[in-house]
Structure formats: structure tokens, C-alpha cells
């Protein structure tokens, strides 16, 4: 595939930055830095455009905090101006990434996502007898900057644009030369593209019947245990040599008839079940909205909308029986009023 030409003037174009600003502000309009940006919108856009052309972005101002989901993760949230910059870049670069990715990679892609990935996993469980499941050990913190820059240089051309991507990569507040910040738009797309070659390695392997990847979580299918194990060994070597990554020791090789846990769902050939963690989140969500209603923080309509949001996270699974049993054991405090 020919390299795509993107110039700094394309990124800095006013219409591109305006679109990027509205995307970056979605759901965050009440934050102070967003309000400051929009209070002098034309001036903010003009200044950001000038800084892009002058080569002084990204600003590299990150806010770091930890989440537990369920394991501890360190999140680096970029400042709003840098988020606008990243959206401006991805307005132009995302279609290029999209054309290069294989159809069985599901993360960060329009029209795909978690639910489509789960459906494909279930279809493959029905078709093929054995599977292997792996994920990368410390994926985002382990991404090699030099390797990533080489991959991007094979996909894009334009010295100014590539230099901008390089500065964004280098601005990561992690170990020098390695790692992408979890939580930024550019990191998601860079990390997804980083394993495109791994997808092709598996799809081209004669012992692989099918493949699905969601970011660094990878599944493939084979005809027997030994063929899946052989692919696992070769895949680990490829990742170490070509991407400087290593797999977690907790890989899984099993019969498809036993199902697999994938993207927070227990996927079986004939059903999709909630995992214990998803069940816990469901209970937490219901309690959180009910507590807010009982405290007078929200009205009944907001409570119903909150319930809808909690239920929506389970709507693609066969969980109606479990939810009914949960309601019988833990009646809604709203219904008691």
C-alpha cells in the first residue's frame, strides 16, 4: 500500500480544528479547561493552528491518576488542547489506519467494537474445535517508540507530520523510549496499529483456522491442541523479535465447546453469560443510582435513565434470568417508596 501524504497545514486547517474541538469536548463541556477554550473559541483555534505549524505541539501537559478496573492502571490524561490536536490528527489518519487493518481486528474501529468481536468469537467457537488465547504483558507501557515510529513512517509521508507524531510519542510520561499513555486517542490508534503485523502473521499461518483481536487480547483457532500450541510458541517469538513484546504467562489453550471469557463476557457456543465482575458492576450500578435518588440528588426520571444505562451494559448477553433472580434477592429500594 502506498504511503499517505498528510501535511501540517492539513492538520492545522481551521475547519479540521473546529471539528476536532467539538469531538474533544463531547461529554466534557462542564470542565474548566474546556470552557476556557470555548470562551475564546476563534482565538484558541488560531493559536493552536499557529503552534502546529511552528512545531511546538504537543504541549505535553498530562494529568495522572490511578483507576482499578479491576487491576490498577495508571492513566495519563492529556490537556484539552492536546486532545483537540489528537482529534485533528485522527480526523485525517484514522481512515488510513482503517484501510490497513484486517477485518478481524475490532478495537477502535467504526462499525466494529466489543459486541461485534464477541459475536465473531462465538461464531468461531461453533466452527472450530480448539482455540488459543493470549494477551501482551504490560502492553501500553511496553510499546517501543523506535519500532512504532518505523511502522508509522511506512504508512504516512510528510516530514512535518511524521515529526509531529514522533513528538506525541516521545511526550509519554513513562520510561524513555517505551510506552504510550493509557487514556489518549492517539495511543489507542497507535497501539492498535502496532499489532497489525501480528494479525497478519496469524492469519497467514497454515495452522490457524480463524483469528480475532481486540487491542492486545488475541484469540485464534486450530484443529487440535498441538497445532494451537505450536502457533503459540511461534507467535511469542515473532512478537519478541518484531515488536519487542512478550506474552503473559497466563495463556489459555482449550476446547471450543468449553467456551472462553472475552471482553468481559463468558462466550459459549449457545449463550453469552455475564462474568462475576460484570455481575458485580451491575449490582454496583443499581446501588449507586438508588443511593443518589434516596439522597435527593436526582429525581425519578434520572433514576430510570440510570437504570437504563446499567441494563444496557448487559443487553447483548443472555442475562434476563440472572437479573430477575437478582431483583428477587435484592428488591429495588425505589419500588418501596
Owner of C-alpha cell 436526582:
298
CB count, 10 Å around CB of 98? 14
Same domain, 88 and 128: no
Confidence grade of residue 319 (pLDDT, cut at 50, 70, 90): low
Region 72-84 average pLDDT: 83
CA distances from 51 to 26, 82, 89, 158 (A): 23, 11, 14, 17
Same domain, 128 and 56: no
Q: Which domain holds residue 53?
A: 4-96
* pLDDT in the model for residue 25: 93
Same domain, 249 and 135: yes
Work out whether strand 265-267 and strand 252-255 pair parallel, antiparallel, or are unpaired: unpaired
Crossing angle of helices 32-39 and 14-25, in 10° steps, is 150
- pLDDT tens digits along 231-274: 999 999 999 999 999 999 999 999 999 999 998 899 999 999 88
DSSP 38-90: HHTHHHHHHHHHHHHHHT------EEEEEEESSSEEEEEEEPHHHHHHHHHHH
Nearest alpha-carbon partner for 45 in 18, 19, 8: 18
Residues of the chain above pLDDT 70, percent: 92
- Tell me whether residue 293 is in a domain: yes
Same domain, 9 and 131: no
Q: Between these two residues, 277 and 76, which has the higher pLDDT value?
A: 277
* Cα atoms found within 13 Å of the Cα of residue 208, Cβ hemisphere only: 20
Same domain, 237 and 285: no
Same domain, 125 and 236: yes
CATH code of the domain covering residue 195 = 3.30.70.270
Region 159-182 average pLDDT: 88
- Tell me whether residue 51 is in a domain: yes
The region of weakest confidence among 170-174, 178-182, 272-276 is 170-174
Same domain, 321 and 198: no
Residues of the chain above pLDDT 90, percent: 64
* pLDDT in the model for residue 70: 64
Region 193-209 average pLDDT: 97
Same domain, 13 and 133: no
Q: Between these two residues, 181 and 101, which has the higher pLDDT value?
A: 101
Region 163-173 average pLDDT: 89
Confidence grade of residue 291 (pLDDT, cut at 50, 70, 90): confident
- pLDDT tens digits along 108-166: 999 998 999 999 999 999 999 999 999 999 999 999 999 999 999 999 999 999 999 99
In angstroms, the CA 197 to CA 239 distance is 9
SS3 of residue 142 by DSSP: helix
- Tell me whether residue 111 is in a domain: no
- pLDDT tens digits along 273-289: 887 787 777 777 888 88
Q: 30: Cβ–Cβ under 8 A, 6 or more apart, which residues?
A: none
Q: Between these two residues, 128 and 76, which has the higher pLDDT value?
A: 128
What pTM value is reported for the model? 0.86
Same domain, 201 and 256: yes
Determine the distance from the C-alpha atom of residue 225 to the mean position of all C-alpha atoms in its chain, rounded to a whole number.
30
Task: Count structural domains, the chain.
Answer: 3
CA distances from 184 to 27, 68, 75, 106 (A): 15, 18, 9, 18
Amino acid at each position: 500500500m502506498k504511503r499517505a501524504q498528510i501535511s501540517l497545514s492539513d492538520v492545522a486547517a481551521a475547519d479540521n480544528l473546529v471539528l476536532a474541538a467539538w469531538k474533544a469536548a463531547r461529554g466534557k463541556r462542564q470542565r474548566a479547561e474546556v470552557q476556557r477554550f470555548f470562551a475564546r473559541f476563534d482565538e484558541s483555534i488560531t493559536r493552536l493552528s499557529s503552534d502546529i505549524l511552528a512545531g511546538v505541539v504537543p504541549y505535553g501537559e498530562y494529568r495522572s491518576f490511578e483507576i482499578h478496573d479491576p487491576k490498577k492502571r495508571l492513566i495519563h490524561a492529556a490537556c484539552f488542547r492536546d486532545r483537540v490536536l489528537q482529534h485533528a490528527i485522527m480526523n485525517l489518519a484514522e481512515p488510513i489506519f482503517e484501510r490497513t487493518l484486517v477485518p478481524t481486528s475490532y478495537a477502535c474501529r467504526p462499525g466494529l467494537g466489543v459486541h461485534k468481536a464477541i459475536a465473531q468469537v462465538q461464531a468461531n467457537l461453533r466452527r472450530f474445535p480448539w482455540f488459543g488465547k493470549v494477551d501482551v504483558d504490560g502492553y501500553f507501557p511496553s510499546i517501543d517508540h523506535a519500532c512504532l515510529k518505523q511502522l508509522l513512517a511506512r504508512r504516512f509521508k510528510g516530514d512535518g507530520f511524521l515529526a509531529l507524531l514522533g513528538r506525541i510519542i516521545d511526550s509519554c510520561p513513562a520510561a524513555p523510549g517505551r510506552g504510550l499513555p493509557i487514556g489518549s486517542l492517539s495511543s489507542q490508534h497507535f497501539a492498535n496499529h502496532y499489532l497489525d503485523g501480528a494479525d497478519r502473521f496469524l492469519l497467514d499461518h497454515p495452522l490457524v483456522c480463524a483469528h480475532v483481536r481486540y487491542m492486545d487480547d488475541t484469540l485464534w483457532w486450530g484443529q487440535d491442541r498441538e497445532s494451537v500450541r505450536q502457533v503459540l510458541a511461534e507467535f511469542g517469538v515473532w512478537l519478541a523479535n518484531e515488536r519487542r513484546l512478550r506474552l503473559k504467562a497466563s495463556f489459555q489453550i482449550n476446547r471450543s465447546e468449553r467456551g472462553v471469557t472475552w471482553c468481559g463476557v463468558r462466550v459459549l457456543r449457545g449463550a453469552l453469560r455475564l462474568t462475576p465482575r460484570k455481575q458485580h458492576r451491575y449490582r454496583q450500578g443499581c446501588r449507586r443510582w438508588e443511593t443518589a435518588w434516596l439522597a435527593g440528588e436526582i429525581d425519578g426520571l434520572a433514576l430510570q435513565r440510570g437504570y437504563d444505562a446499567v441494563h444496557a451494559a448487559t443487553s447483548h448477553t443472555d442475562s434476563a434470568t440472572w437479573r430477575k433472580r437478582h431483583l428477587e434477592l435484592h428488591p429495588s429500594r425505589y419500588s418501596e417508596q
